Structure 1
Amino acid sequence: MNQSLSLQAPLQAVGIPVSVGLSALGQEIQHIREHLTTPANPLTLESGLLADRPVWVGRYAEALIDKVPESLKTFASRNLRFALTALQKIEVELQQQTAGIDPTRLSIVMGTSTSGISDSEQLLKQYFNGNTSLEISYQPQEMGCLAKALQRYLDWQGAAYTISTACSSSAKAFAAGQRLIQAGLADAVLVGGVDTLCQLTLNGFNSLESLSADICQPCGINRDGINIGEAAALFLLTRTSAPIMLYGVGESMDAWHISAPHPEGLGAATAMQRALESAAITAEQVGYINLHGTATPQNDAMEIKAIRQVFPGQHVAISSTKHKTGHCLGAAGAIEAFICTQLLKDQHWLPVHQHTDIDPDLADQNYVSEPLLAGNINYVLSNSFAFGGSNISLLFGAGT
């Protein structure tokens, strides 16, 4: 590996004692595992999101809470209801883990790229259909409102902010949370991401000709773009060790193109290498990589080039899970981190890569075709690469 890419000092590992992940995979762990290890398709073909045709999306099919508490009314949106639905599933554990900690030492860092935009879309339709007396509050779609609302709900008093760096947003929330702890500014941090389906992002990617006509095919010979999904995934980071640990973080910035990655994967390779260095482990110790794997021609090609640079000849097991969740945009890093933490807990399965033919130019890698693990794995890497070249790799591992 080029030494110019090796600049990451070791970081303090943080524990992950509590987590939750909601997506098209469902909410129960057994359903999530079944979807990721079998040919079952959790995506749905929906009309009304694009003007000219139906589109495949990864929609969370379970019920959300009906409404937000009165104290959060100014933040109310489907995105916030999704966040609170996830939070309430771990709220008892969360309170147990943080009992006795000074509230000023409890922080929140969230990632999103849509916030409450879907709710504003519905109101704007009414406005342009003639209801011009309608009052529209834009506060629920402000990016920062997600962390603020969760802070008010939990009555925590530490730092609370939202990161919005497109598809790396919620992965960067992990990095920010780890830094808050290492800098001595927090004792525990709630991190994660929430994004909900909306017409803005679907039509935006459609205008870029980046939406797949079918279920997406990461690294496939006929790959033609992404499916978009929605997800809510939350994690508590703590100073103390836990069965699952965040050991390393690697970040980089391409600044190569507003929407395209560096063609040789230089930024992606830098992020992965820095994640290894920050955890003080070698490439040989990584048992699985969850690819960013969007199924766009350029992204998949550059990511495999980057893996060849950082993991030469290692044939580490790899797969993308976006053909099962859709690309959850600002929440993608968080829901894929949740998948990684679950397989580390279980230690007997890996997510299966999509089954169509692999592009011959990318076929020299160890794509997961059989879900059963032959032996335990200690470390897994999760990649998130965003518009503008905002790259991050998270390294998780088994703890105590």
Structure 2
Amino acid sequence: MTALIITAGTAISAMGRGMEATRTCLLEQRQTLQPDTFQSPGHGYIGRVAGVEDHQLPGALHRFDCRNNRLADMALMTDDFMEAVADARAHYGRHRLAVVMGTSTSGILTTEKAYAARKDRDEALPPDFPYDGTQDLSSLPRYVAARLDVTGPMLTVSNACASSTRAFIDAAHLLATGLCDAAIVGGADSLCRMTLQGFASLGLVSAHPTRPCDAGRSGISIGEAAGFALLERADGRPRPARPAGYRLRLLGYGASSDGHHMSSPDPTGSGAALAIQKALARASLPPEAIGYINMHGTGTPANDQMEDRAMASIFGRAVPCSSTKGWSGHTLGASGILESMICAIAIQDQYLPHCMNSQTVDPLFQSDILLAPRHGKLNFVMNNSFGFGGTNSSLIFGPLT
């Protein structure tokens, strides 16, 4: 595949604002999930980002004002990400930078509030309701492009919980075809009643902080997050390097769609295994080369069991695995970008995070599930994301050499 490098990255979640805050949270094993006070009555625990309610978008972009775009804006303003994009824009030209964003619900909270504010149940939403700037799935990439002053190709990926992982794949295709020289890749998903109440109605929300892969796991904790990466061709036009930061290579990717069920994963794990195998093949790596896998690991009985079967069929017990959703909660369409940035931290620090909150691995599992962090040599790491409808994506990252 085309050699691709991430030259800048950022993430914001309940773990903290920015890469160093996220790193500190992992290393110090901080508890970050909190009881759901976002709605009344609440459901279990959530991963909430502080300060979103008070954050203000630039006045010229007020038509995009919603929780999702506020969260995205906070991430853009972190880790000097906007400055990194400005350097790339000056070098390549604003029309040569693409924006590929993943989200599952966009700014639907704004619609929920407008709907609840109606005086009569048959009353329509106000004619000036800013649907296109808030709830529409194109809102996020249009906001990011406007905020960063880039005019290249724009794309929204809404593949449920695999959205921002799949965004890397579509961005890689754009770069390989020469339609752009760099791509701003990432996504955002913010707290809203639809996801909180929707997952609760499916019986998938745990009454306690989520415990991925634990024998007594009982469901997910919903979270919110946003993150971005600047993806460039390694053989592109040379430009001055920025400070190292969390830089890495995108070595391989794989995707599949098993279509087993709208909300339940294929229990055999065959679709997930296919995405993993494709990523390994594209990276030209054998399974034993992977040093750590960041699992999708939602904490539901069915999802974690499926993923264990998929990984064990390829790696056996040879590769350490964990889910970091015990810190962030399940951030839905933003999971892929957040956990890709966690992979960057793992590579830089040679640190393998464990399954937070989990104490006893499900005895039926065959994979090497981490219940405590490890230090060890990491050359290549994998990030898995599996979404509703059987959409599966896997990414492989490595350090810059």
- TM-score normalised by L of structure 2: 0.91
Specify which of 356, 368, 371 is matched with residue 369 of structure 1.
371
The answer on whether the counterparts of 2:260 and 2:390 sit within 8 Å (CA) in structure 1 is yes
**Structure-2 separation of matches of 1:28 and 1:331:** 15
Does the alignment pair 1:109 with 2:100?
A: yes
Give secondary structure in 2 for the equivalent of 1:95.
helix
Give secondary structure in 2 for the equivalent of 1:388.
coil
Counterparts of 1:212-223 in structure 2, within 5 Å, are 212-223=206-217
Does the alignment pair 1:399 with 2:400?
A: yes
**Structure-2 separation of matches of 1:120 and 1:290:** 34
Which position in structure 1 is the counterpart of 2:383?
A: 382
Following superposition, the deviation at residue 63 of structure 1 comes to 5.2
The answer on whether the counterparts of 2:33 and 2:327 sit within 8 Å (CA) in structure 1 is yes
Which position in structure 2 is the counterpart of 1:18?
A: 8
Which position in structure 1 is the counterpart of 2:293?
A: 289
**Structure-1 separation of matches of 2:184 and 2:288:** 31
Does the alignment pair 1:199 with 2:193?
A: yes
- What letter corresponds to residue 391 of structure 1 in structure 2? N
Which position in structure 2 is the counterpart of 1:336?
A: 339
**Structure-1 separation of matches of 2:261 and 2:233:** 38
- Shift in CA distance, 337/65, structure 1 to aligned 2, threshold 3 Å: farther
Which position in structure 2 is the counterpart of 1:244?
A: 248
The answer on whether the counterparts of 1:38 and 1:352 sit within 8 Å (CA) in structure 2 is no
Which position in structure 1 is the counterpart of 2:112?
A: 121
**Structure-2 separation of matches of 1:382 and 1:178:** 16
Deviations along 1:42-67, one digit per CA (max 9) or x if unpaired, are 0110235254x442000012457732
Does the alignment pair 1:161 with 2:155?
A: yes
**Structure-2 separation of matches of 1:203 and 1:244:** 37
Which position in structure 2 is the counterpart of 1:138?
A: 131
**Structure-2 separation of matches of 1:174 and 1:108:** 11
**Structure-2 separation of matches of 1:26 and 1:393:** 25
Deviations along 1:289-315, one digit per CA (max 9) or x if unpaired, are 00000111111111111111111352x
Give secondary structure in 1 for the equivalent of 2:113.
helix
Does the alignment pair 1:47 with 2:34?
A: no
Following superposition, the deviation at residue 156 of structure 1 comes to 1.3
Which position in structure 2 is the counterpart of 1:61?
A: 50
Q: Percent identity?
A: 39
Which position in structure 1 is the counterpart of 2:68?
A: 79
- Shift in CA distance, 352/129, structure 1 to aligned 2, threshold 3 Å: farther
Counterparts of 1:86-97 in structure 2, within 5 Å, are 86-89=75-78, 90-97=81-88
The answer on whether the counterparts of 1:195 and 1:231 sit within 8 Å (CA) in structure 2 is yes
Q: Does 276-285 or 112-121 show the bigger shift?
A: 112-121
- What letter corresponds to residue 355 of structure 2 in structure 1? H
Deviations along 1:256-278, one digit per CA (max 9) or x if unpaired, are 11111111100000000100101
Specify which of 326, 329, 335 is matched with residue 329 of structure 2.
326
Give secondary structure in 1 for the equivalent of 2:375.
coil
Following superposition, the deviation at residue 115 of structure 1 comes to 0.9
Which position in structure 1 is the counterpart of 2:203?
A: 209
Deviations along 1:180-237, one digit per CA (max 9) or x if unpaired, are 1011111000000101000111111111111011011111111111110000100000
Following superposition, the deviation at residue 39 of structure 1 comes to 4.3
- Shift in CA distance, 64/351, structure 1 to aligned 2, threshold 3 Å: farther
- Shift in CA distance, 71/365, structure 1 to aligned 2, threshold 3 Å: same
The answer on whether the counterparts of 2:43 and 2:200 sit within 8 Å (CA) in structure 1 is no
Which position in structure 2 is the counterpart of 1:306?
A: 310
- What letter corresponds to residue 57 of structure 1 in structure 2? I
Following superposition, the deviation at residue 397 of structure 1 comes to 0.6
- What letter corresponds to residue 258 of structure 1 in structure 2? M
**Structure-2 separation of matches of 1:133 and 1:369:** 51
Q: Does 114-123 or 276-285 show the bigger shift?
A: 114-123
**Structure-1 separation of matches of 2:20 and 2:44:** 27
Following superposition, the deviation at residue 176 of structure 1 comes to 0.6
**Structure-2 separation of matches of 1:37 and 1:277:** 32
Which position in structure 2 is the counterpart of 1:182?
A: 176
- What letter corresponds to residue 332 of structure 2 in structure 1? L
Which position in structure 1 is the counterpart of 2:239?
A: none
Following superposition, the deviation at residue 370 of structure 1 comes to 3.5
**Structure-2 separation of matches of 1:13 and 1:208:** 42
**RMSD of equivalent CA atoms:** 2.0
Give secondary structure in 2 for the equivalent of 1:309.
helix
Give secondary structure in 1 for the equivalent of 2:92.
coil
Which position in structure 2 is the counterpart of 1:352?
A: 354
Give secondary structure in 2 for the equivalent of 1:100.
helix
Moved segments of 4+, more than 4 Å: 62-65, 128-134
The answer for unaligned runs of 5 or more in structure 1 is 1-10
- Shift in CA distance, 154/44, structure 1 to aligned 2, threshold 3 Å: same
Give secondary structure in 2 for the equivalent of 1:382.
strand
**Structure-2 separation of matches of 1:322 and 1:335:** 10
- What letter corresponds to residue 367 of structure 2 in structure 1? Q
Following superposition, the deviation at residue 83 of structure 1 comes to 0.9
Does the alignment pair 1:172 with 2:166?
A: yes
Give secondary structure in 2 for the equivalent of 1:99.
helix
